[in-house]
Every structure is written in structure tokens, then in C-alpha cells.
Amino acid sequence: MKIGVFDSGVGGLTVLKALTKAYPHVDFVYLGDTARVPYGDKSAQTVIRYSLECAEFLMGEGIDLLVVACNTASSYALDVLKEILTIPVFGVLEPGVKRALQTTKNKRVGVIGTRATINSNSYKKLLETNGVEVFQKACPLFVPMVEEGILDGDIAKGVVAHYLKDIKDKNIDTLILGCTHYPLLKPIIEDFMGEGVNVVDSAECTAMEVASYIVGGGTSTLNLYFTDRSPGLDFLIELILEKPVDYQLLTLPCKV
């Protein structure tokens, strides 16, 4: 079996990592659209077009299941992809929301993410439909901090405290990490929020969501593709996947 994963950049590698850990005998193809990142400042129509181009390439690689490892693409393009494609399609929003609904006891849930994700209110709408009070916070410095490899220490702890101090005072018992970069900061986020708050990693939740669709096995291949060799790409691949992995460059849209 072969699973395709795409993201606007490298953050989706956290989802890929969770998937490869959960299903070590499945083949994976990852596409990071680093030439056009971020998707968060694009219109919905553009995000849908980019997502369709990513999906077209991955379909050409013979995938059996698609994971949209991008919060923005999951918000705007997931329904279109599900309608057009003939294979199962999963995003990263609903698995995280489902886990939050299962864990919250007081129906007070926090959501952190990029400005685009928070402004879209995608998590908020899904949670409020289920009677949950939602407290959101955009954390724009988290992504560049992760991409600089600043995952611990005084700087990281100070930035986490700066953004999360208000949410911490809201008596939430669950916090959703609404960006694929944020799992790398999970240990210090958990430490700051305290034992009474369950931190939901959407990457892990998404990996569990596809469990019933996994059939047979594969040769455990992993193919990475990116649309631009952006500065720090090799460093981030090794940081997230915990090992260097070869990759290929391509241009979208492309003939497959």
C-alpha cells in the first residue's frame, strides 16, 4: 500500500513521521510545495488549485490514500479533493477536533495556530458545533522558531509563555496544536500549560484516523519531493525525521 502526503512546506513532515511510525510496512510519497509556501496568505481559490496540483502529482505516483498535511489546505480544499479523487482523503483538522472532543471534560478547548488558520475559524466552527467553548491564539513566531531549530531553552520558553499565558488563564483542559510545525514544541508547551491540560497533536491523531484504511503492506519505501530547495531544507528534514533523507525537486504543475 502507498500513502501520499502533501503540505505547503516542511511542517507536514511531522505528519509523515507519525504515519511512518504507525505503519512501518507502508510505502510513502511526500510532496512539500516549498516554492509556493505559505498557503495561508493565498485566496481559497488559489489554495484549491495548488492542492489539486499536488494531488495530481501524487496520484501519478500510484497512491492508494491521500493525507492533506496542511491546515490551510485542509480548511479550503479537502471537500473538493474528496469529491474529485477516487481514493480516501484525510485532512489534519477533523482528527484533532475528534481527539479534543474525546478528551475534554469541561468543554473548554484552546486552539493555537498560524494567523491564517486562526482567522479561518476552521477549528472553532467544528468545536462549537459540538457545544465546546473555544479560545484561540495565533502564534506567528512558532514556525520561524522551529525552522531555526530553537526547540528548547530560554528563548523558546519565553516565546511559548508570551503567546500562551492568556490561554492558560482560561481554564481550558485541552489544547489543540493547529499547525504541523508545533509538535516539535510539544514538550515545552506541555510543560508551560501544566499537567491539567491535554495537548492534542494533530499529526498523531491523523495517523490514527487512517488505521482502518491500511491494507496489506509494502516495501517500506519513502520518497520525498519538494518544489524548491529553500534555505534550511536539508536541516529541517533531518530535524523533523531525525535522519537525513534524500529528496527530489520538481515543478508544479507537472505532467504525470
Return averaged pLDDT per consecutive 10 residues of the chain, 256 residues in all.
95 95 95 91 90 97 96 92 97 95 97 89 95 96 91 96 96 95 95 96 92 84 95 92 94 69
Same domain membership, residue 188 and residue 105: yes
Q: Spell 84-120 as b/e; 16+ CB within 10 A means b.
A: ebebebbbbbbbbbbbbbeebeeeebbbbbbebbbeb
Nearest to 114 by CA among 93, 142, 92, 151: 142
Instruction: Please classify residue 158 by burial: count the beta carbons closer than 10 Å to its beta carbon, then call 0-12 exposed, 13-18 middle and 19+ buried.
Output: exposed
Residues 97, 145: one domain?
A: yes
What is the domain count for the chain? 2
Tell me what pLDDT residue 65 has. 97
Q: Are residues 84 and 108 in the same domain?
A: no
Domain that holds residue 229: 2-91+206-249
Q: From CA 139, how far away is CA 99, in angstroms rounded?
A: 21
- For this structure, is 179 an active site residue? yes
Q: Quick check: is 255 in a domain?
A: no
70 included as an active-site residue: yes
In a domain, 254, yes or no: no
pLDDT of residue 256: 41
| DSSP 8-state code for residue 149 | T
Q: What is the CATH number of the domain that holds 83?
A: 3.40.50.1860
Residue 143 lies in a domain: yes
In a domain, 256, yes or no: no
pLDDT recorded at residue 253: 83
| Catalytic site residue from 54, 70, 139, 205 | 70
What's the pLDDT score for residue 58?
A: 98
Q: Are residues 74 and 104 in the same domain?
A: no
pLDDT the model gives residue 79 = 94
> Which of 54, 139, 179, 205 is the catalytic position?
179
Q: Output the pLDDT for position 254.
A: 64
The size of the chain, in residues, is 256
The answer as to whether 141 is a domain residue is yes
- Alpha carbon distances (Å) from 16 to 42, 177, 214: 24, 16, 15
* DSSP-derived 3-state class of residue 213: helix
